[in-house]
Amino acid sequence: MPASTLRPLAAAAVALTVCLAGSSAAAAAPRPHPAAPAACALPGRTGWTDEGHDTDRRQFQPSTGTHRDLTLFVDFPDAPETGSTAPYTDHLAPAADWMRTASYGRSRLALTPLRRWIRMPAASTSYDFARGISFEAHEKYVRDAVTAADPYADFSRYDMVYIVPTKAATAVPFSPTYLYDPATKGVTADGTRVKWAVTFGQDMWRWGPKVADHETAHTFGLPDLYSFSGDTHQYVGGWDVMGNIAGAAPQYLGWHAWKLGWIRDEQIACLAAPGQRTVRLTPVERPGGTKIAVLRTGATTAYVAESRRAEGNDAAACSTGVLVYKVDSAAATGEGPIRIAPTHPTTVPTGCTALDLAARTAGQSFTDPDTGARIDVLAGGPAGDTVRITSR
Residues 266 and 21 sit within 8 Å (Cβ to Cβ): no
Domain boundaries, the chain: 37-57+233-391, 65-220
- Give the pLDDT score at 2: 62
Whose CA is closest to 255, among 331, 311, 330, 324? 324
Residue 124 CA to residue 145 CA, distance in Å, equals 12
Residue 197 CA to residue 16 CA, distance in Å, equals 29
- Give the pLDDT score at 3: 62
Mean pLDDT of 97-120: 98
- Give the pLDDT score at 4: 55
Whose CA is closest to 3, among 193, 235, 242? 242
Residue 284 CA to residue 311 CA, distance in Å, equals 10
Tens digit of each residue's pLDDT (9 = 90 or more) over 113-123: 999 999 999 99
Q: Is the pLDDT of residue 8 over 70?
A: no
Which pLDDT band, with edges at 50, 70 and 90, does 132 fall under?
Answer: confident
Tens digit of each residue's pLDDT (9 = 90 or more) over 166-197: 999 999 999 999 999 999 999 999 999 999 99
Tens digit of each residue's pLDDT (9 = 90 or more) over 68-78: 999 999 999 99
Q: Is the pLDDT of residue 34 over 70?
A: no
In 3-state terms, what secondary structure has residue 321?
strand
- Give, in degrees to the nearest 5, the angle at Cα 239 between 360 and 15: 100
Q: Is the pLDDT of residue 25 over 50?
A: no
Tens digit of each residue's pLDDT (9 = 90 or more) over 245-300: 999 999 999 999 999 999 999 999 999 999 999 999 999 999 999 999 999 999 99
